[in-house]
Structure formats: structure tokens, C-alpha cells
Amino acid sequence: MKAHKNVVEPSHWPKYLRYTQSYIYHSSVSLEVKKTINEGPKSPQRSSSSQNHNSQKNNHVVIRHITEPSHPAYNQFGLFASKKIPAKAHILDYIGEIHADERLTSDYDLSLLRLKNGESIGIDASTTGNEARFINDYRGIKLKPNAAFIDYRTDSGELKMGIWAANEDIKKGDELLVSYGKAWWKARTELQ
């Protein structure tokens, strides 16, 4: 691990990316939207005080270079369990740049919030983020995902997009895999 501007980068963090454990706000995000993200009632089922919650240390995960040629993300990175993760446990949060503008070409952009006026707020980790940006989609790797994106509010009321273990324990060494959703893949096939 390497310390950089008071933030400790995890092992295998690429030099061309900025590591952060807290949101960066893009200028397209209004003060009102910031307030909506930062202040809300904590989620009763999925709060950060839940016994299954993993803190910002992200110590359940490790980034690995994928060296198996049969893997569809060969020569890229993936996110793996560094220890056994109990079913339904909080694993880590998806952190990056919060934005209100369109990021049509980013493969690291996740929807966080849709406002009543139709405005969509995303988390883009294409240049700045945490370990979560390396989580791959299960397609072509396993029959089903072993983790899922589910939003929740922390004890202090901040809206987060958490990555949570599915209904079964995840073994140490297993790759963490979510579903990006059919629409994500459809948009990319249509672009080709």
C-alpha cells in the first residue's frame, strides 16, 4: 500500500487513476442535490451500524490483474474476496465523481439517484474512485452474480451505492461479480 495525500492506495491501484474514499463533486451538481445526497433518513435495514457493515477500510477485497486468457476481462483487473464474506454482508461502497451531466462513454458510471424533475445523478469512477470500480459483470464468468449494487443511507444520512453479498457466503479468493444490467450491455453492443 502507498500513502498519497493522506489517503492510502490499495495494492495494485493503477498509477494513472486517483484513489478516493469519499465523493468528489462535479460542477454540474447543484447545492440542493448535494444536500439531497448528504442529508436523509438512514436506511433501517442497511445502515452503516449494521453488524455486517464493512467500514471504509475495504478490507474484504483485493484488486487483481486477470491473467487467465479464458476470462472475458483478460488482461484487465477484477475485484476478489480477500477473506470469507458472509451472505448479505456489506462489502464496500462505489465511490467516484458525483455528476449531473451525461457520461455516455464512461464504462465506470453508475446511477445513484433519479430526482423528481427527471434529473439523473451518477457516480463516475473513470478517473477517480475506489476499489469498487474494478468489479466485473458475471456474464461469461459465472452463472449468476455473487454480489449486487443496492443504495442505502449511512448513519450520518449520506446516500451511498453499496455493494452487498448475495444470499450465499463468498469464499476467500472468489471473484466478486455483479450484474451491470441488460441495458448496460445493450448500450455497448449498439455502440459497436
Ligand X SMILES: C[S@@+](CC[C@H](N)C(=O)[O-])C[C@H]1O[C@@H](n2cnc3c(N)ncnc32)[C@H](O)[C@@H]1O
Residues within the interface to ligand X (CB under 6 A): 72-73, 76-78, 107-108, 133-134, 136-137, 139-141
Q: How far is the CB of 60 from ligand X (least distance, A)?
A: 17
Cα→Cα distances 74→13, 19, 140, 157, 185, Å:
17, 23, 12, 39, 18
Cβ proximity of 136 and 185 under 8 Å: no
Least separation in angstroms between CB 91 and ligand X: 15
Complex with ligand X: residue 107 or 155, whichever CB lies closer: 107
For 74, the grid coordinates are: 483478460
Q: Which is nearer to ligand X, 31 or 104 (CB)?
A: 104
Please give the C-alpha separations between residue 176 and each of 47, 98, 113, 114, 116, in angstroms, as whole numbers.
22, 24, 24, 26, 33
Q: Is-contact 84 118, C-beta < 8 A?
A: no
In the bound complex, what is the minimum distance in angstroms from residue 96's beta carbon to ligand X? 10
Nearer to ligand X, 160 or 175 (CB): 175
Smallest gap from Cβ 147 to ligand X, in A, equals 13
Residue placing its CB nearer to ligand X in the complex, 34 or 139: 139
What dihedral angle (degrees, nearest 10) is formed by the CA atoms of 54, 121, 62, 185?
A: 130
